[in-house]
Amino acid sequence: MARVVLRNVTKRFGDHVAVSGLNLDVEDGEFLVLVGPSGCGKSTTLRLIAGLEELTEGEVYIGDRLVNGVPPRDRDVAMVFQSYALYPHLTVYDNLAFGLRMRRRQLGLSKGDIDRRVREVARTLGIEPLLGRRPKQLSGGERQRVALGRAIVRHPKVFLFDEPLSNLDAQLRVEVRRELKQLHRRLQATMIFVTHDQIEAMTLGDRVVVLRDGVIQQVDTPQRLYQEPANLFVARFIGSPPMNLLTGRLRSEGDVVRFETDGFSLSLPPAAVPSSEIGRIVLGIRPEDLSLAVERANNYNVGKAGRMQGRVEVVEPMGAQQLLYVAVGANALAVLSRSEENIQPGQSVPLVVRVDRLHWFDPDTERRLVVGTATLER
Amino acid sequence: MARRDSQGWLFVLPAVIWLLAVNVGPAVYMVGHSFFAPRYSEERGASVRRWVGLENYRRFFAEDQLVHSIWFTVGVAVVSVAAELALGLLFAVMAWRATAFGIRLWRGLFAVPMLMAPVAVAYLATTVFAHEVGVINGLLHRLLGVPFESLPRWRSDRFWATLAVILVEVWQWTPFCFIVFLAALAAQPEDLREAALVDGAGEWQVFWHVTLPCLRPVLLTVLLLRLIEALKLFDVPYGLTRGGPGTWTQTYSMWIKEVAFTRYDMGLASAMSTMLLLALTALGIAVLPLLRKQLAISEEP
């Protein structure tokens, strides 16, 4: 168990900057997820911690030890690869024992110790019957479990996961996700997990780091990432279906503020906006914060504020809910609604927005604007 | 269904005809020939074939040359193939992760010996191994000051002649092993190496416990191919030593050629060829299951 600290970490491949000035503190026993689109530097960051890549600049600490220049074998970390990287010529037993055997002398382990640890891990993961098999004879899920076991058996200070779930089918992924979470609770180990899947990031992480072009966008709990995205990138990236983003301007009109955009305007109470007069601003609305007025009008008892009229273009049933794409002015808004509502494409519907859940962004800096505090006046 | 079957046969037919005409046919003819001996027929005024049963095989086992020829051939094959595999692997590992300037050109140049006809190589080698004017002895004499009388007699001394044959073989076929091994190394997933490094293995341990075992199927394949070729060795000693001194460096294949085209004893030559065919087939049958097992294990999951 150990903290992992990254200080001004930069990694360049030739002219390409993969990771740029990264600062990160991973707490002891924390489950931290690195998430971002491909090429954002999340895997590189993980490999820098593992020692598989050399730092261009900065410092990496594992525990309290500076590990710059320390080879992977001496960092006491374990890594689970996307491909699982099981040794094809070894049985499951030997795959699990490999790491312990390589360092038998340093660790002072007897053959009996190794055997005990391998069997114990195999038992907890339910792969005991597979110990005599070779990787080729295993299913995807079984291989995944062996790869996990190979990491656990070494009792490393830090676990590193490089997209370990992306080769599993959807059902198995959900199952393994749950198991990973249980495993983390049981081992109380520091785990760093890389994924491009925001749902995986949200469900697994104690905290989530959103990366873009090698730069951290936001580090927060999944809840806060969702509720208070720090910028437009995070707002777009986190959440499925993604947040509706509308560019427009704010204008004061009596005791309300109007948000005006292509083809429609929206009356809002002054308490729901960063400032009453802004020339250009981006409004973000989560699909679940929009509802059909007929549906739950009572819950949004805000008078005329937050109401608009739209026309349903597409209906996507999702089981308990349905996703509607509603044309409002020149925009199409995604609206999450209950399935009981019988909505047909082409139908005209009144929409209500939850005015206490609006997100505002500066279109130039892309940063989040906090309600009532914006100094920008254009 | 029947129509599809007949169409299938149609596609396979050319290959079947080719195999029968070029491989199976001559082999059967040769094996058949080993049970006959030529006899001059008075009434026909020409040579006719006479059934002699196993007589040719009896004579084969009675040949003086037999034991030495087999030992020499097997010995040269084993030593040179072992050296080719070892050197090929060594160079491949060295070139594998190398990024030095011109590494591609160097790799390409390394393949040149493989592109040359063995018999040409053998004749070129005669100038390298010539006693007083040869390149090697010239260097030994001028650079190391070895006196003329103690220079190795590459073509008239049994030991040196054997070594010369082996050296030329190794020179010519190491590049083949090198290229195949290099390709196999390049094809190995980097993940495996990295997994082992993180797992606590040092570079040397990774090579020994992961890289090398994963190369096993390729090693076995090259071993089998090279061994079969080497056991049929002909061109190099034929061009370089003419089998000398005496018949010391005469390989089994050279011996067959001598029996067939110098002694014109086609029956005996056929029997000898049949024995070689049997031996190589046995070798293949022995190694193939091993190879199949290795392939089954290491195939990418």
Say whether residue B213 is in contact with chain A using an 8 A CB cutoff.
Answer: yes
Is B57 domain-assigned? no
- Asked whether A327 and A311 are in contact (CB, 8 A), the reply is yes
CA distance B183 to chain A (A): 19
Which of A91, A102, A144 is the best residue to mutate to test the B interface, defined by the most B CB atoms within 10 Å of its own CB?
A102
pLDDT at B301: 45
At B158, the pLDDT band (50, 70, 90 cuts) reads: very high
% residues pLDDT > 70 (chain B)? 97
DSSP string, B69-136: HHHHHHHHHHHHHHHHHHHHHHHHHHHHS---TTHHHHHHHHTHHHHS-HHHHHHHHHHHH-TTTSHH
Which residues from chain B sit within 8 angstroms of residue A51, using beta carbons? 197-198
For the stretch B114-151, pLDDT in tens is 888 888 888 988 899 988 788 888 888 888 888 888 88
Is B24 domain-assigned? no
For the stretch A197-227, pLDDT in tens is 999 999 999 999 999 999 999 999 999 999 9
Inter-chain touch B191–A72, beta carbons under 8 Å: no
Q: Which of B205, B209, B301 sits opposite A88 (nearest CB)?
A: B301
pLDDT > 90? residue A367: yes
pLDDT at A305: 64
Is B23 domain-assigned? no
CA pair distance A304, A296, nearest whole angstrom: 14
Is B15 domain-assigned? no
pLDDT > 60? residue A375: no
Q: What are phi and psi of A156, to 5 degrees?
A: -80, 165
User: Can you list the domains of chain A with their CATH numbers?
Assistant: 4-230 (3.40.50.300), 244-369 (2.40.50.140)
Inter-chain touch B299–A77, beta carbons under 8 Å: no
CA distance B77 to chain A (A): 29
pLDDT at A277: 78
- Asked whether A69 and A80 are in contact (CB, 8 A), the reply is no
pLDDT at A140: 87
At B5, the pLDDT band (50, 70, 90 cuts) reads: confident
pLDDT at A373: 55
pLDDT at A304: 58
Is B118 domain-assigned? yes
For the stretch A259-313, pLDDT in tens is 988 878 888 888 888 887 788 999 999 999 988 876 554 444 445 567 888 899 9
Inter-chain touch A89–B189, beta carbons under 8 Å: no
Secondary structure class of A26 (helix, strand, coil): strand
Say whether residue A370 is in contact with chain B using an 8 A CB cutoff.
Answer: no
- Mean pLDDT, chain A, integer: 89
CATH of the domain at B152: 1.10.3720.10
Range(s) of the domain holding residue B210: 64-298
Least confident of A140-154, A333-347, B285-299: B285-299
Q: Which residue of B has its CA nearest to A90?
A: B297
Average pLDDT over residues B148-155: 85
pLDDT at A372: 65
- Asked whether A150 and A101 are in contact (CB, 8 A), the reply is no
Is B11 domain-assigned? no
pLDDT at A303: 52
Q: Which residue of B has its CA nearest to A143?
A: B301
pLDDT at B47: 78
Say whether residue A149 is in contact with chain B using an 8 A CB cutoff.
Answer: no
pLDDT > 80? residue B103: no
Q: Which of B189, B195, B210 sits opposite A79 (nearest CB)?
A: B195
pLDDT > 70? residue A1: no
Which residues from chain A sit within 8 angstroms of residue B196, using beta carbons? 87, 98, 102
Q: Which of B192, B213, B298 sits opposite A85 (nearest CB)?
A: B192
Distance of CA B232 to the CA centre of its chain: 6
CA distance A52 to chain B (A): 7
Which residues from chain B sit within 8 angstroms of residue A118, using beta carbons? none
DSSP string, B212-239: HHHHHHHHHHHHHHHHHHHHT--HHHHH
pLDDT > 80? residue A156: yes
Task: Please identify which residue in the block is written with the tokens 């360092």.
Answer: A103
At A33, the pLDDT band (50, 70, 90 cuts) reads: very high
pLDDT at B106: 79
pLDDT at B22: 92
pLDDT > 70? residue A377: no
At A80, the pLDDT band (50, 70, 90 cuts) reads: very high
Average pLDDT over residues A30-47: 93
Beta bridge partners of A292: A351
CA distance A104 to chain B (A): 10
- Mean pLDDT, chain B, integer: 88
Is B22 domain-assigned? no
Which residues from chain B sit within 8 angstroms of residue A88, using beta carbons? 192, 214, 297-301
% residues pLDDT > 70 (chain A)? 94
Burial of residue B190, with CB atoms counted within 10 A of its CB: 0-12 exposed, 13-18 middle, 19 or more buried: exposed
pLDDT at A376: 41
At B31, the pLDDT band (50, 70, 90 cuts) reads: very high
Structural domain count, chain B: 1
At B207, the pLDDT band (50, 70, 90 cuts) reads: very high
Q: Say whether the peptide bond before residue B245 is cis (omega within 30 degrees of 0).
A: yes
Average pLDDT over residues A321-338: 90
pLDDT at A294: 61
At B46, the pLDDT band (50, 70, 90 cuts) reads: confident
CA pair distance B57, B267, nearest whole angstrom: 9
Q: Which of B191, B198, B297 sits opposite A136 (nearest CB)?
A: B297
